[in-house]
Amino acid sequence: MKYAENILETIGNTPLIKLNRVLGEDFPAMVLAKVETFNPGNSVKDRMALKMIEDAEKNGSLKPGGTIVEGTSGNTGMGLALAAIVKGYKCIFVTSDKQSKEKADVLKAMGAEVIICPSDVAPDDERSYYSVSKRLARETPNGWYVNQYDNLSNRQAHYESTAPEIWEQTEGRLTHFVVGAGTGGTITGCGKFFKEKNPDIKIIGVDTYGSILKHRLDTGETDLSLAHSYITEGIGEDIIPENYDFSVIDHFEKVTDKDGAIYARKLAKEEGIFCGYSAGSAIASLVQMKDQFTKDDIVVVLLHDHGSRYVAKIYNDDWMKEMGWL
């Protein structure tokens, strides 16, 4: 018989799927989507969530019967919740009011306590989800603060699993890797692996307006005054997490809130791939950069999470009309 001992053994080995219509018939390169919704928690974050927990168990910072505390937009929380259920931990997740209601509801369904914080405050404000999660970790008996932004097990997970899978699936022939960037784990872990294999592979991050990531790569400066609120979920930052190694990133492409939403819907209707907001942004970035690719290129674009977490927003016609995007 072939079966998994538990749900955690089903993480990884997600498919690579050729995109045929959403980019347009005249798009020059072959584009292959690494569809991470096939993970059990329906996102790429399952990989790093399990790795961070396993490493914390090894170094003793997460003890038996402990409580996992984390600030999350939802997907990391889902991965942590799956591991917590199997391993016997409690979870407290802190998220922002910008995130879709579905994400918070799913975390509650998995047994987690969820606390909502305002998104339109500075990262160091005591009300921000960064500050609240740190405080709760200190105040909770036997609590462990995950800190996915600065926990380097995040990027190591992608160096050890995501990138090697893509390398094997493409037989090492990829020329570009395109991925939405937030905590920096996926783009840095994969970028480091690919650059070691072939320094000519271009590592492209997808950023959003209101985020400071592109400015940091282009100028080497961290200008927090450039940060402002935005609607896109799952990418962009108003801080620079320690997971970033900008030396392995070649370019950041900024995408508007509107284009990310529209291309997520196009991806579903034209490819049958039902993914989240950041996936739409990633597809929009490719359209914007179309002239930079050739017929000999093999582009891998990573699609982070599932569309079911955005049904009340980008997949809701009334919400899209309210935004003026439909």
Q: What φ, ψ does residue 260 adopt, rounded to 5°?
A: -60, -45
Count of Cβ atoms closer than 10 Å to residue 186 Cβ? 28
**Which is the catalytic residue, given 34, 45, 51, 254?**
45
Render pLDDT for 12-26 as a digit per residue (tens, 0 to 9).
999 999 999 999 999
Residue written as token pair 């939802």 = 74
Buried b vs exposed e over 271-298: b needs ≥16 C-beta within 10 Å? bebbbbbbbbbbbbbbeebeeebeeebb
In a domain, 133, yes or no: yes
Same domain (yes/no): 77, 209 = no
Give me the CATH number covering residue 58.
3.40.50.1100
Residue 96, phi then psi, degrees to nearest 5:
-100, 160
Is 45 a catalytic site residue? yes
Among residues of the chain, what percentage have pLDDT more than 70? Answer: 100
In a domain? residue 91: yes
Q: Model confidence at 195, in pLDDT bands (50, 70, 90)?
A: very high
pLDDT tens digits along 287-323:
999 999 999 999 999 999 999 999 999 999 999 999 9
Q: Is residue 315 part of a domain?
A: yes
Domain-located, residue 277: yes
Structural domain of residue 255, as residue ranges? 7-38+161-323
Q: Same structural domain for residues 179 and 77?
A: no
Q: Is residue 150 part of a domain?
A: no
Number of structural domains (the chain) is: 2
Tell me if 151 sits within 8 A of 131, measured CB to CB.
no
The pLDDT of residue 253 is 98
* Residue 250 domain-assigned (yes or no): yes
Q: Would the pLDDT of 123 be above 90? A: no
Longest dimension (CA), the chain: 58
- Return the higher-pLDDT residue of 7 and 103: 7
Query: Does 52 share its domain with 199?
Result: no
